[in-house]
């Protein structure tokens, strides 16, 4: 099987079920943004594979599950209206994120200020992925008839990625940069 098909050379692509749309269609923007976030989450995980830190296996298992679910979100967003969604996002998927957020957040120092994104390369990548997930959420909100659980999942995922970035930075002893207001 060849990687290239040439079917998109004139600016169109296929949704699930082969429906052709322009590559700048809002659905393509939404699922493409999910793919972008997923790639950055994968980059973050690649920084952690050979590292040693507390609860590494649990953390990476969650990341793998999130990557799979984010693929499912993209699939759902690329399914034409009225067609069967192969892997619909469920309320339980959102609840899993909430449970994980609460578990990791308990291990972190309480926030008293805004923090600047950055830190360990994996933490910085998770912060960047969080902002891309926020964009994916904005794209999904603009679509009609989106599964409300997709919107909730994307909203909660950005929260998870924020807490995950903080956890990674703490696990590697990287101090968070606090936002200070500058006096003129």
The per-residue pLDDT for range 22-32, each reduced to its tens digit, is 999 999 999 99
Q: Is residue 6 part of a domain?
A: no
Residue at 152 is within a domain: yes
Question: Above 90 in pLDDT, residue 8?
Answer: no
> Given the DSSP bridges, would you call strands 177-178 and 115-116 parallel, antiparallel or unpaired?
antiparallel
Within-domain flag for 45: yes
* Pairwise CA distance, residues 80 & 174, whole Å: 45
CATH label of the domain that carries residue 94:
1.20.1200.10
For the segment 108-124, the average pLDDT, to the nearest whole number, is: 94
Give the tens place of pLDDT for each residue, 120-160. 999 999 999 999 999 999 999 999 999 999 999 999 999 99
What are the angstrom distances between the C-alpha of 160 and each of 31, 63, 79, 95, 104? 19, 10, 26, 11, 9
Average pLDDT on 39-62 reads 97
- What tens digit of pLDDT does each residue of 53-109 get? 999 999 999 999 999 999 999 999 999 989 999 999 999 999 999 999 999 999 999
Please give the pLDDT value at position 2. Answer: 85
Q: Which pLDDT band holds residue 182 (cuts at 50, 70, 90)?
A: low
Asked if residue 3 belongs to a domain, the reply is: no
| Residue 135 included in any domain | yes
Domain-embedded: residue 94: yes
CB-CB contact of 84 with 11 (8 Å):
no
pTM comes to: 0.93
In the structure, what pLDDT confidence band is assigned to residue 184 with cuts at 50, 70 and 90? Answer: very low
Asked whether residue 181 is assigned to any structural domain, the reply reads no
Judged against a pLDDT cut of 60, whether residue 183 lies above it is answered with: no
Strand partners, 20: 14
Distance, CA of 164 to CA of 169 (rounded, Å): 9
Mean pLDDT of the 5-12 span: 88
Q: How many domains does the chain have?
A: 1
Domain limits at 92?
26-173
Q: Which of 142, 152, 168 is nearest to 62 (CA)?
A: 168
pLDDT beyond 80 at 36: yes
The answer to whether residue 79 is domain-embedded is yes
pLDDT over 50 (residue 111): yes
């Amino acid at each position: 099987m060849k990687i290239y098909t040439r079917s998109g050379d004139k600016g169109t692509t296929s949704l699930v079920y082969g429906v052709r749309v322009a590559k700048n269609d809002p659905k393509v923007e939404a699922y493409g943004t999910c793919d972008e976030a997923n790639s950055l989450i994968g980059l973050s995980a690649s920084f952690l594979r050979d590292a040693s830190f507390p609860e590494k296996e649990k953390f990476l298992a969650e990341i793998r599950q999130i990557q799979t679910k984010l693929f499912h979100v993209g699939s759902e967003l690329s399914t034409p209206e009225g067609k069967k969604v192969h892997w619909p996002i469920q309320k339980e998927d959102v609840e899993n994120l909430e449970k994980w957020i609460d578990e990791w957040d308990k291990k972190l120092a309480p926030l008293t200020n805004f923090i600047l994104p950055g830190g360990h390369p994996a933490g910085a990548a998770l912060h960047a992925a969080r902002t891309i997930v926020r964009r994916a959420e904005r794209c999904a909100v603009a679509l009609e008839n989106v599964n409300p659980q997709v919107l909730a999942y994307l909203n909660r995922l950005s929260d998870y990625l924020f807490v995950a970035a903080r956890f990674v930075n703490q696990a590697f002893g990287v101090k968070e940069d606090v936002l200070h207001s500058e006096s003129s």
